[in-house]
Amino acid sequence: MTQLPIRRRGLWFIRDVITQAELRHQWYILEKSRSGTAWILIAVLMILPAILVTFYLLAIVFLGLPIEHINPNNDDLISNLVDVGLVSLITMNVALYLIVILITLGLSSNSISRERKGRTWDVLVLSNVDARQVVLGKWWASLVALWGDHAMIGFLRIGLVCMVVITLEPFWGAKLPPVPMGISPIVVHTLILSVILLAYTAIDAMFTAALGVGGAVSTQNASLVGGVVFMMRFIAMFMFVVWLWTIYNDLRHGWGYITTALFGLALFAVFTWLALRLGEWWAIQGEVNAP
């Protein structure tokens, strides 16, 4: 494997040796799996309409552009292009999210299982680096390796926020909660909801990586643990949908949606912490168990 300079690859701020080594390996795997101009071009063409319509929606929110082209009754060229972009935005929010979840689970799980298959796990835990540090290093490397993918999910979610806020009053007949001092409610609530969803995107990425690492560290039956991991991931996705729907309903009736949003973020953060702590506990058990 070609060793790229630490500073060039953005590793200069990471001092942990385990994280640095794992991150180099994961970058290598990602670069190999994403090779091929044709596949990259197809991926860009699929996501480009969603990116462009997100910029368009942001312009409507922050520049005050007219929204008549979002009206489904219009049949002009721009309206048709916007419709294609909106469909792509909704589709890619779901599809990209599912793909990145699977990739994150796979990378984080492989970071541990690779050590076990290569019989290097015992070497790690018998060195000066304890099992807890190994788990944290693998977990953090999985997050840093895929930060761009999770950032794209967050960006597309901002597009969804813009679409919901813009269309809430004219198309669904619900007024946004008023804002004092004559500030635009569309801008204020778009900013608040965007920050909320970006925070969730970061917590969700941490949770997924924690599940992958924690499941791979366990010495229990691999099929059983894998099933539990996917079940927990599915439950978290279901809770995310319910949480979003609750925020949407609260948004239509006042500022109470912020309380709902903060409660949900706190709950997801606790789940992430528990998943990571469970992985650390399993790793420590494997460290002290007799061979």
Average pLDDT over all residues of the chain: 79
Quick check: is 20 in a domain?
no
Residue 7, pLDDT above cutoff 50: no
Quick check: is 30 in a domain?
no
Q: What is the pLDDT of residue 142?
A: 84
34-77 pLDDT tens trace: 655 555 566 677 889 999 999 999 998 888 777 776 766 666 77
Quick check: is 176 in a domain?
yes
Residue 287, pLDDT above cutoff 60: no
State how many domains the chain has.
1
In angstroms, the CA 208 to CA 203 distance is: 9
In angstroms, the CA 40 to CA 267 distance is: 37
240-283 pLDDT tens trace: 999 999 999 888 888 999 999 999 999 999 999 988 888 777 76
Residue 17, pLDDT above cutoff 80: no
Closest CA to 194 of 226, 228, 159: 159
Quick check: is 13 in a domain?
no
In angstroms, the CA 212 to CA 107 distance is: 8
* 143 and 26 Cβ atoms separated by less than 8 Å: no
Give backbone dihedrals phi and psi of 235, rounded to 5 degrees, phi first. Answer: -60, -40
φ/ψ region of 65 (left if φ > 0, alpha if ψ in -120 to 50, else beta) reads beta
Quick check: is 7 in a domain?
no
Show the domain range for 225.
37-288
Cβ neighbour number for residue 134 with a 10 Å cutoff: 26
In angstroms, the CA 8 to CA 2 distance is: 13
Quick check: is 21 in a domain?
no
Closest CA to 57 of 179, 197, 157: 157
Cβ neighbour number for residue 85 with a 10 Å cutoff: 21
Q: What is the pLDDT of residue 119?
A: 61
| Higher pLDDT, residue 286 or 172 | 172
Quick check: is 12 in a domain?
no
Q: What is the pLDDT of residue 69?
A: 65
Residue 136, pLDDT above cutoff 70: yes
Q: What is the pLDDT of residue 71?
A: 66
Quick check: is 145 in a domain?
yes
Q: What is the pLDDT of residue 291?
A: 40
17-31, 167-181, 239-253, 272-286: least confidently modelled range: 17-31
Closest CA to 112 of 33, 225, 273, 192: 225
Q: Tell me the average pLDDT across 88-98.
A: 91
Give backbone dihedrals phi and psi of 146, rounded to 5 degrees, phi first. Answer: -110, 20
End-to-end Cα separation, the chain, in angstroms: 31
